[in-house]
Chain A
Amino acid sequence: MEAVRFDNVKFSYEQEDEYAVNGVTLSVAEGEFVAVLGRNGSGKSTLAKLINALLVPTSGKVTVFGMDTSDPKQTFEIRKSAGMVFQNPDNQTVASVVEDDVAFGPENIGVPREEIGKRIDFALDAVGMQAFRQATPSRLSGGQKQRIAIAGVLAIRPKIMILDESTAMLDPRGRREVMEVVRRLNKEQGMTVLLITHFMDEALQADRAVVMHRGEVVMDASPEEVFSRSAELESYNLTLPRAAAICKRLQAAGMPVGNAFTAEELAEEICKSLQKI
């Protein structure tokens, strides 16, 4: 089933003439893991906010499971099915105790009390933060805070999880923690994931990579294909994942290695090429 659909969507912020999102047509299937890549100002965050009706298209149409985001009557249902995790972990926590914060979403949608407890259990287990149930979010690490934010969204039981640069402010360890949780949600629970990021390495874990440039979708293919078109990527001011970049330079230097995108693949390719010698 189609989870999200963009139909020739244009959007401009009030004070600007230029379209932040300029004629995007895109379809995301249920259960898919899509990475949206792009430089700052490419319109990728705007794209994310258009999905759960935080922004409404200037022209064109966005639908979530068939519900039109421009219809105010549907907004609530749309937000129930499309949860969103933001960039700054400090700015999306409403409560001073982890479990209270996770309870915020279910409370808003009117879940009965006993059920909220179960949902908190489920959500905290899913992100591996059950031990921190009574902790104070401000004392946790960035990665832990972001996992709590994910739990807060999970407790609403959405079908789609949008991560708007949710790893941008984290250290490498926090990034790994969050990415692991996201990948597990996608693989084990069939959660549709839209990962907005400017870290190319993260896109490798997705089924599909969408590249945005100046409000338009300029590439839409498997991450491997997107990263093999490195000249095109460079023209959008994007770089290759680190391992892929090293691989390319090795190839340019005349080493007989095949294409590799992750560190593991690269290591394997290098071993193989060394065996040949």
Chain B
Amino acid sequence: MLNDVTFGQYYPAKSFVHNLDPRAKIVFVIAYIVAIFLAKNFYALGALLLVTVFFILLARVPFGRVLRSVKMILFIIVFTAILNLFFYSGESAYEPLVDWWIFTITYESIVNMVFLALRLFLLVLGTSVLTLTTTPVALTDGLESLLTPLKWIRFPVHELALIMSIALRFIPTLTDETNRIVAAQKARGADFETGGLIRRAKSMIPVLVPLLVSAFRRAEDLGDAMDARCYRGSKGRTKYKKLVFSWRDALGVLFFGGVITGIVFMNLYLGAKFDIIGQIASLF
């Protein structure tokens, strides 16, 4: 059931993308997300898709592996897409295709649905390239470094970064545990596959309760283990891995700056997403 959780799981390989400074990568992903939301037409999204595919190739991560993390939120994508299909409230220049009770489907709502689905897809695709090519430690180191200015207002940057890296580190452990509990409950006759949504949700309670209890026990153990290994917060702490910003990162930043500028220009000069309706119509 939860075998497909690849989100947050590092895919070890040697590549240009893997070697990039995590700070640069985090900034890229933020820029990428902004670009996705700035994109107003399919050209811009298409360009972003190309950029993402290019980075996946560069990272030498198998496509299947990347797509698995999309599979995880496929439900959310489909759900929002369907909602948007039926309840799109924007104006329509054409006759509605379906107009029944509270459901209305117009050409615009179809375009809107596709656009939204593509957006979400790109969002997950891009962010999973980050988590697949960056170790959680590097990721939190990067975040810590980027957030350092916040220390001035006494924001616990180091603690937050550590909490994040530990959370990421425990994902596979808790996934294994969930699978074990599911198997144990199945062996006692629990049924997770049949019934409606509510019944299925209810059937998860016997899984979630022991999982939660065990997570607390683990947290306590981990606290002891960290204490025993002389942890006492950021006081007097050194770092083994220093982040180094190299020419590669500079190159990446330049490239990404270019992409964002490109998207802005595409938005300005290549029209809106609904233009595609007219374009398709003109084909017939």
A52: chain B residues within 8 A (beta carbon): 228
Q: A94-B222, A96-B135 are in contact. Are A156 and B230 (CB under 8 A)?
A: yes
A100 touching B241, Cβ below 8 Å: yes
* Complex Cα spacing A49 to B228, Å: 9
Interface stretch of the complex, out of A34-42, A57-65, A108-116? A108-116
A49 touching B224, Cβ below 8 Å: yes
B229: chain A residues within 8 A (beta carbon): 79, 83, 104-105, 108, 152-153, 156
Q: A90-B218, A96-B10, A136-B12 are in contact. Are A110 and B239 (CB under 8 A)?
A: no
Q: A90-B218, A108-B232 are in contact. Are A113 and B238 (CB under 8 A)?
A: yes
Least CB separation from A51: chain B residue? B228
22 contacts between A and B (CB under 8 A): A54-B227, A79-B228, A83-B229, A90-B173, A91-B221, A91-B225, A92-B222, A92-B225, A94-B165, A94-B166, A94-B169, A94-B226, A96-B10, A96-B168, A97-B135, A99-B240, A108-B231, A113-B240, A138-B172, A138-B173, A156-B229, A156-B230
B227: chain A residues within 8 A (beta carbon): 54, 79
Which residues does B use to contact A, with CB under 8 Å? 10, 12, 135-137, 162, 165-166, 168-169, 172-173, 176, 218, 221-222, 224-232, 236-242
Within the complex, the shortest CB–CB distance from A80 to chain B, in Å, comes to 6
Q: A54-B228, A153-B229 are in contact. Are A92 and B240 (CB under 8 A)?
A: no
A146: chain B residues within 8 A (beta carbon): none
Within the complex, the shortest CB–CB distance from B19 to chain A, in Å, comes to 13
The reply on A117 being an interface residue by CB < 8 A is: yes
Q: A107-B238, A111-B238, A113-B239 are in contact. Are A91 and B222 (CB under 8 A)?
A: yes
A54 touching B240, Cβ below 8 Å: no
Least CB separation from A134: chain B residue? B12
B222 touching A108, Cβ below 8 Å: no
* Complex Cα spacing A235 to B236, Å: 50
Interface centre among B169, B227, B228, B240 (most CB of A within 10 A): B228
For this complex, into which size category does the number of interface residues on chain A fall? 35 or more
Within the complex, the shortest CB–CB distance from A14 to chain B, in Å, comes to 14
The reply on A95 being an interface residue by CB < 8 A is: yes
B226: chain A residues within 8 A (beta carbon): 94, 104
Which residues does A use to contact B, with CB under 8 Å? 49, 52, 54, 76, 79-80, 83-84, 86-88, 90-97, 99-100, 103-113, 116-117, 120, 134, 136, 138, 152-153, 156
Within the complex, the shortest CB–CB distance from A209 to chain B, in Å, comes to 24
* Complex Cα spacing A51 to B81, Å: 59
A88: chain B residues within 8 A (beta carbon): 218, 221
B interface majority secondary structure: helix
* Complex Cα spacing A106 to B238, Å: 8
* Complex Cα spacing A15 to B227, Å: 22
B169 touching A84, Cβ below 8 Å: no
Contact of A109 among B176, B218, B230 (CB under 8 A): B230
A91: chain B residues within 8 A (beta carbon): 218, 221-222, 225
* Complex Cα spacing A90 to B175, Å: 12
B221 touching A95, Cβ below 8 Å: no
The 3 closest A-B pairs by CB, nearest first: A92-B225, A91-B221, A103-B240
* Complex Cα spacing A96 to B166, Å: 8
* Given pairs A54-B224, A104-B229, 6 additional interface contacts (CB within 8 A): A94-B225, A100-B241, A103-B241, A107-B237, A136-B172, A153-B229
* Complex Cα spacing A76 to B176, Å: 35
B222: chain A residues within 8 A (beta carbon): 91-92, 94
* Complex Cα spacing A86 to B162, Å: 21
Least CB separation from B141: chain A residue? A100
Least CB separation from B240: chain A residue? A103
* Complex Cα spacing A156 to B227, Å: 13
B12 touching A113, Cβ below 8 Å: no
A96 touching B230, Cβ below 8 Å: no
Least CB separation from B220: chain A residue? A91
Within the complex, the shortest CB–CB distance from B216 to chain A, in Å, comes to 11
B236: chain A residues within 8 A (beta carbon): 109-110
* Complex Cα spacing A277 to B224, Å: 57
* Complex Cα spacing A116 to B176, Å: 32
Q: A96-B10, A100-B137 are in contact. Are A83 and B240 (CB under 8 A)?
A: no
A94: chain B residues within 8 A (beta carbon): 162, 165-166, 169, 222, 225-226
B221 touching A86, Cβ below 8 Å: yes
